[in-house]
Structures are given as C-alpha cells and as structure tokens.
Chain A
Amino acid sequence: MLDSLLNGLGILGTSPEMLALFVGFGLVVGVLFGFFGMGGSFLVTPALLMLEYPAPVAVGSGMAFVFGTAVIATLKHHDLGQVDYKLGVIMITGTTVGIEAGRASVYYLESLGLAGGVISVAYVVLLGGVGAVVTRDALKSGGSGGIDHEAADQDLSGYQTPEIAKTIQQTVRIPPMVTLRGDVRVSVWVITAVAFATGLLSGFLGVGGGFIRMPAMIYAIGVPVPVAVGTDLFEIVFSGGLGSYLYGQGGGVDLGIVVPLLFGSALGARIGSAATAVVDADSIKIYFGGMLLVGAIAVAVGEFGAYVGSPTLELLGLVLVIGAAVVVAVAILYTTVSSLRETGRQGTTAAD
C-alpha cells in the first residue's frame, strides 16, 4: 500500500544515489538560506536543468521546494510577529496572475523547444546581475548583500521609510489606499504591480523571488525590513503553493526531488540561522556574491556544453554550480565552529 503510494508519488522512482545527492544539496542550500536569508533556492533549478530534467520538471520541482521552505520559514516568522497578513493577502492576486503568466511562458517555450535555453540564459543574467551587485556592495561597504539580520530583528518603532518609498507614496495616490504595519499608507496598485512583476519571475524561473520582492517591498512600498522579510515568506507560501499546484497538474513536480531536498534544507536552514548568532555575516557576504557569479558562469558553461554536445562541459557546469554552493556553506560552518571554540576558550580564560 505504502509502496504503491510512494511509487505513484515518485519517491521510489529516484535512485538511492540521487536521493542522497538531493539531501546533501538540500542541506547546503538550507545553510545558505538560513544564513543569508535568501539565495539558496535559485541554485536548485539550474542544477536540475544540468541533471537533464525537462524544463517544466526543473522549474516546477524548484518551485515546490521553495514552497516547502517558505512554509517552514513563515512558521518561524509568525512566532516572531513579523508577518503583515493584510499586505500578504493584497499581494496574492498580482502574484498569482504573474506566476500563471510565467508558467504559461515556460510551456509555450517548451513547445518551441526553447525553454531550457531561454531559462538558462535568464539565470545567467539574473545570477550574474545579483552576484555582481552583492559583491560590489560587500567590497564597498563591508557587505550589504542578503538580509541584514540586525535590521530584520529590530522593532518597528524607530523605522525610517526610504526616500524613494516616500516619493512613490506621495506621487502614486490612486485609490484604494491602504495602511500597513509600520504606519505605511500606499496605493493598492503599487502593491499589485510589485506583486505581478515578482510573480512573473517566480513562475518563469521557479524561484521564490524574495531577492527581488524584498527590496521592492522596502523601496517601492516602504515596508519596514522585518515585516518585508516575514510577509515575503508568507506570500511565497501561497504563490509557491499555487505555482507548484499548476506545475503539478502538468506533471512538473517530482516528489523524488522535492522530498529529499526539503529534508536536507530544513536541517541546513536551522544550522545556517543559528550560525548568524555566532558569525559576522558581513565577512562572508563577499563569498555569497562570488558564489552567485560562479553559478552564472556554471550555467553558461553547462548550456554551452549542451549546445556543442560536450558532456565534459555539461559536467563541469554542474560541478561548478554545486561546488560553489558547497564551498560557501562549508566556509560558514567552519567559521561558526571556529568562533564557538574561540568563545569557549575566552570564557575559560575569564573564569580562570
């Protein structure tokens, strides 16, 4: 009975080696997500594409993984009171339409035989662009990529709305207007536009879209950072759930991929999140930017290998994308353990 259910759901259709690979990769992605608050999930879809899964399966399973990760993270942020449910509900409509448009684009490109190539190119541009910005900021100011954990943990009373958000709030006053947490008053249409744009990206690439949506919520809507983090995750639960459902109807969600990835990432996210209390994130953010840049190069190399029919280049691309993530995750763990041991030694010396 259980065997037939698991077989039907695809668990046993995945070899033990692949299950182990996905658990391990999930662990790595989870450490990155827990530590930086973003980024790990958008290594999953390119890795699946390089493992020669069809584009709808790579994107659909990537999105289902994002959905599961968002459920876990939202439960945590709900406990911390950092979710604006009103904003989240308003965003759902725009995101839903955006995701469906993105998903339809993937299937249209798949029917033309172009999906894998176009998605890979979009990833090269996206990973390269975000990686370059994070690396530049890290070099310039000692690191501002990912989520600022100190800002994410602060209360809302002393929050200063960014100037650009104030300008948008004063310029775009198309009714209906809504008041959000942190005493932010903004047009519903601004929220919907942000939601649609990020939903389109999610549906097309199978990512949560947090690395675009969170800055957009902070700088376009004017939401305080802690609320942007929590609400973004809450919103991804719905958008990711719907996107996964739509891809699932087309056979695009493979539980043999999602279940082991989630199993590893849920543990990794706890480790990564705990590590933020021990390690200064700024010192590692430059590696994060570097990882994204290597990821962009890896996707480009893999895609070029597929184009010229070179399995060696395809394998090199896969090794690069997984290797870059592993190196950064190991750097986080190593620095954490070293810091803990250093603290332990200092504590003992002080006691003496």
Chain B
Amino acid sequence: MAGLTVPTWDPETALLIGTILLEAIVLYVGYGGLERLFGSYLIQFLVGGDADAR
C-alpha cells in the first residue's frame, strides 16, 4: 500500500467518483437555473423596497 501503484479498474470506485462528477454537473446546472429564475428577485429583496420603486 505504501509503494507507488498504477490505478486499476475498479467499478465500485468508478461509481463513487462518477457520483461526485454527476452531483457537480447537476449542481452547476441546477443552481445556475435557480440563479436565472430567482436571482433578480433575491437582489430586489436584499436591496429592499427602494429597488422596487425603480
């Protein structure tokens, strides 16, 4: 275990890393969509009523 090793194919580990990759892509797309949908509303909410007036 302590020496240098060449990676070998391991379906279980590949599934593990694939899960993280999939989660990252889903989060990028999902949060991006939420930002487009609700980003401006959130900014208006944070800025306060003054922004609505504009």
Q: Show the binding face of A for B, using Cβ within 8 Å.
A: 9, 64, 67-69, 71-72, 75-76, 100-101, 104, 107-108, 111, 241-242, 244-246, 248-250, 253, 255, 258-259, 262-263, 266-267, 270, 337, 340-341, 343-345, 347-348, 351
CA A258 to CA B27, docked complex, whole Å: 13
Is B37 positioned at the interface, with any CB of A under 8 Å from its CB? no
Contact with A along B13-27 (1 / 0, CB 8 A): 111110111011101
- Closest chain-A Cβ to B15's Cβ sits at a distance in Å of 8
Contact partners of A270 in chain B: CB under 8 A: 31-32, 35
- Closest chain-A Cβ to B49's Cβ sits at a distance in Å of 9
CA A259 to CA B18, docked complex, whole Å: 12
What DSSP secondary structure best describes chain B's contact surface?
Answer: helix
- Closest chain-B Cβ to A31's Cβ sits at a distance in Å of 13
Of chain B, the residue at the smallest CB distance from A270 is B31
A9-B21 contact given A100-B4, A343-B47, CB 8 Å threshold = no
Contact partners of A246 in chain B: CB under 8 A: 5, 7
Contact partners of B24 in chain A: CB under 8 A: 67-69, 71-72, 262, 266
CA A244 to CA B24, docked complex, whole Å: 14
Closest 6 A-B residue pairs measured CB to CB? A108-B2, A344-B47, A266-B27, A71-B24, A248-B13, A68-B24
CA A246 to CA B10, docked complex, whole Å: 10
Of the A-B pairs whose beta carbons lie under 8 Å apart in the complex, a sample of 24, sorted by A's number, is A9-B19, A72-B28, A100-B4, A100-B5, A101-B4, A104-B2, A242-B7, A245-B7, A245-B14, A245-B17, A246-B5, A249-B7, A250-B1, A253-B17, A255-B19, A259-B20, A266-B27, A266-B28, A270-B35, A340-B43, A341-B47, A348-B54, A351-B53, A351-B54
A253 with B16: CB separation less than 8 A: yes
What DSSP secondary structure best describes chain A's contact surface?
Answer: helix
Of chain B, the residue at the smallest CB distance from A278 is B43
Of chain B, the residue at the smallest CB distance from A247 is B13
Contact partners of B19 in chain A: CB under 8 A: 9, 255, 259
Size class of the contact patch on chain B: 20 to 34
Q: Show the binding face of B for A, using Cβ within 8 Å.
A: 1-5, 7-8, 10, 13-17, 19-21, 23-25, 27-28, 31-32, 35, 43, 46-48, 50-51, 53-54
B51 with A244: CB separation less than 8 A: no
A68-B47 contact given A249-B13, A250-B1, A266-B28, CB 8 Å threshold = no
A67 with B20: CB separation less than 8 A: yes
CA A208 to CA B37, docked complex, whole Å: 32
* Most chain A C-beta atoms within 10 Å of own C-beta, residue among B16, B32, B50: B16
A104 with B4: CB separation less than 8 A: yes
CA A323 to CA B50, docked complex, whole Å: 34
A262 with B20: CB separation less than 8 A: yes
Contact partners of A245 in chain B: CB under 8 A: 7, 10, 13-14, 17
A262 with B27: CB separation less than 8 A: yes
A262 with B23: CB separation less than 8 A: yes
Contact partners of B5 in chain A: CB under 8 A: 100, 104, 246
CA A22 to CA B8, docked complex, whole Å: 31
